[in-house]
Chain A
């Protein structure tokens, strides 16, 4: 059989393809629907948080920080409850990372505050002596891309039925609603209102001035995202 295949490139290719595609079918398909069901209390991202998530991705924060807490005592002691599949239901793409040059950030919102992040992103080694993380000062000047964040909200809502403007069950039995604006202008206004809440806890005057003039710096969006990780 192999001798025959080696003389017939087309059938050889078919045989190779079947052999390699087999594993993917068996491994990936069976649990696909189940793995994407959200846990109780998992909410989609707001416009500003999503803009912050884009800043996180743009700067490959995931190259050094994981967002995956494994079920070991040493990890739950350090980072909090271990990760559940449904907690990632609204993460497109997933940001688990594969290397912890810095600590896990899955639940960083529980342990760090806005002003801590502000100081740390400006001068990491000044906040954590010995840190090898570089500073991210351009985030204090670059403007966040709210338009694209809104475009993503609209897309995931339309294409994947991500539940914006719908009641979402919380752990205590109540419900919460994550709003998605009806227009880009309304989305910008909402994001700016959220940004003002964040900026109230910050001290950098340039950032405050930018937000006062209606612009949202990347650092504000990023902090909104980091604060949402709980």
Chain B
């Protein structure tokens, strides 16, 4: 009895895997539509004048960012949690009917919240704060879903057999705590209906005004990025890269240094979104300085992962899953170098408000976050569905087409951003502004077009991913987990 391997229960993980795929397609499809709208404004009317209100760039834009952040990425985080959590804690969900119930409830409520978000954003219910657009009733739903995740994390930890928490668990716990704190404080608001007794029930006013509101928002905004797009993704790579490659993590000490360093430094850096704004100067400087310090813990994790592959670099050529993960950590290094550069005050003066920032977000999310999530789902699929991955060659094609897409995306946005920033500040020989604003818009047309092409290529890759996963779930050759090696089984 005791020697029999644990039978893990992946029901909830499966549900979240499917949600990841669906919301990934939706979020990135909306993003591609937005990109084409900026290149060709006629696309705003793609469903005709009558529906223009709902297909317009400005209505769709929060839907894109939130669908990718809270839809695709958070589903991916949950899918991996309900897989990795059981395995590294050496306990099965099947052992606790209570935790099984919590997991299923969390998924169902999550889907309800997602549906409410989509409808409310299209109808224009928004608090306007980036990544915190949802009005207060939805916020309450978000908090419930998040608390349920906390119950799952600490519940599963409470009945674990493996006493030491693996590195991935550290990062999941950090993501849970930090997002809870940030989300609660940034969304503090007073629903106006309950004070005044008239007007819309869906409306609320922020507890903070003006500069304070901006400060709280970017303390949230920057770190929501950290604790949704960074820590849980690091949790994934610390589990999936060693598993898939069969290599031990290069250095425990480096992972320790990176983790605690990241925890301490990240929250300070929010001020770099407010450089040259009306928040006190010392906060802006703190934001800049800590952003540069942040390179250390970020590169610590990335280098730890790359060195884990030491002596096994041949796997990068032979296994598309390793390709995805090695490129993800490379993009993580790249993105965490680019961010601090943009946070330096004199660079920020040029880059802020331009497309360079948009480019930075996308090389991080497309190159690092999404690549890691694709790899995680590919690795999980054979173990969860007991079938080999449907097609290796499709994975390879997806990898290259998406890599090309990301490169087109960020290079065009670099050029667009720096061009526009330079034109805004250009003066002629008499000290007058050299360009009117519209000159700095029309000049971007070619770069917007290249970006839209890059985004479209990436989206095609997402469709390949969805198809490959669908076929893996339904049609690929059956294989038992006991027959699997580290390298995931994959068909031609």
With A and B bound together, what is the CA distance between A67 and B68 in angstroms?
Answer: 26
Q: Which A118-156 residues sit within 8 Å CB-CB of chain B?
A: 125, 128-138, 142, 145, 147-152, 154-156
Are A78 and B424 CB-contacts (below 8 A) given A85-B278, A91-B209?
Answer: yes
Q: Is the CB of A27 within 8 A of B165?
A: no
Q: Is the CB of B200 within 8 A of A148?
A: yes
Q: Is the CB of A36 within 8 A of B52?
A: no
Q: Is the CB of B427 within 8 A of A74?
A: yes
Are A134 and B52 CB-contacts (below 8 A) given A72-B349, A85-B278, A152-B203?
Answer: yes
Q: Is the CB of B126 within 8 A of A58?
A: yes
Residue on A with the closest CB to B125? A58
CB-CB under 8 A from A74, the residues of chain B are: 424-427, 433
With A and B bound together, what is the CA distance between A154 and B191 in angstroms?
Answer: 11
**Chain B contact residues: over half helix, strand or loop, or mixed?**
helix
CB-CB under 8 A from B37, the residues of chain A are: 134
Q: Is the CB of A98 within 8 A of B173?
A: no
Q: Which A83-139 residues sit within 8 Å CB-CB of chain B?
A: 83-103, 125, 128-138
CB-CB under 8 A from A138, the residues of chain B are: 52-53
Are A88 and B211 CB-contacts (below 8 A) given A128-B438, A152-B192?
Answer: yes
CB-CB under 8 A from A159, the residues of chain B are: 190, 195
B487 contacts A by Cβ under 8 Å: no
Q: Is the CB of A66 within 8 A of B196?
A: no
A168 contacts B by Cβ under 8 Å: no
Contact with A along B156-190 (1 / 0, CB 8 A): 01100001110001100110011001000100001
Interface residues on B, range: 35 or more
A214 contacts B by Cβ under 8 Å: no
Q: Is the CB of A20 within 8 A of B181?
A: yes
A24 contacts B by Cβ under 8 Å: yes
With A and B bound together, what is the CA distance between A155 and B130 in angstroms?
Answer: 23
Q: Is the CB of B442 within 8 A of A130?
A: yes
A57 to chain B, nearest CB (A): 4
A172 contacts B by Cβ under 8 Å: no
Contact among B52, B205, B283, B442 for A135, CB-based, below 8 A? B52
Q: Is the CB of A35 within 8 A of B210?
A: yes
Q: Which B129-172 residues sit within 8 Å CB-CB of chain A?
A: 129-130, 154, 157-158, 163-165, 169-170
Q: Is the CB of B357 within 8 A of A132?
A: no
Q: Which A168-203 residues sit within 8 Å CB-CB of chain B?
A: 184
Residue on A with the closest CB to B162? A7
Contact among A66, A90, A147 for B353, CB-based, below 8 A? A66
Residue on B with the closest CB to A74? B425
B482 to chain A, nearest CB (A): 30
A60 contacts B by Cβ under 8 Å: yes
Q: Is the CB of A94 within 8 A of B213?
A: yes
Contact with A along B206-243 (1 / 0, CB 8 A): 10111111111101000000000000000000000000
CB-CB under 8 A from A3, the residues of chain B are: 164
Residue on B with the closest CB to A100? B353
Q: Is the CB of A70 within 8 A of B276?
A: yes
CB-CB under 8 A from A205, the residues of chain B are: none
CB-CB under 8 A from A147, the residues of chain B are: 198-200
CB-CB under 8 A from A71, the residues of chain B are: 276
Residue on A with the closest CB to B218? A98
Contact among B177, B185, B209, B260 for A89, CB-based, below 8 A? B209
Are A24 and B219 CB-contacts (below 8 A) given A70-B349, A85-B210?
Answer: yes
Q: Is the CB of B438 within 8 A of A130?
A: yes
B302 to chain A, nearest CB (A): 21
CB-CB under 8 A from B177, the residues of chain A are: 13, 16-17, 20
B219, B267, B349 — which one has the most chain A CB atoms within 10 A of its CB? B267
Contact among A20, A89, A131 for B263, CB-based, below 8 A? A20
Contact among A68, A97, A154 for B192, CB-based, below 8 A? A154
Residue on B with the closest CB to A139? B53
B101 contacts A by Cβ under 8 Å: no
* 14 more A-B residue pairs beyond the given contacts A74-B433, A134-B37, A151-B192, with a C-beta to C-beta distance below 8 A: A6-B164, A17-B177, A21-B267, A23-B267, A27-B271, A78-B433, A85-B278, A89-B209, A94-B217, A99-B357, A134-B52, A148-B192, A148-B199, A151-B197
List 13 A-B pairs, Cβ < 8 Å: A3-B164, A12-B165, A19-B264, A20-B264, A59-B58, A66-B353, A83-B278, A92-B213, A98-B353, A101-B441, A133-B41, A148-B200, A150-B196
The 8 A-B residue pairs with the shortest CB-CB distance in the complex, in nearest-first order: A88-B210, A151-B199, A148-B199, A23-B267, A58-B124, A151-B196, A134-B44, A154-B196
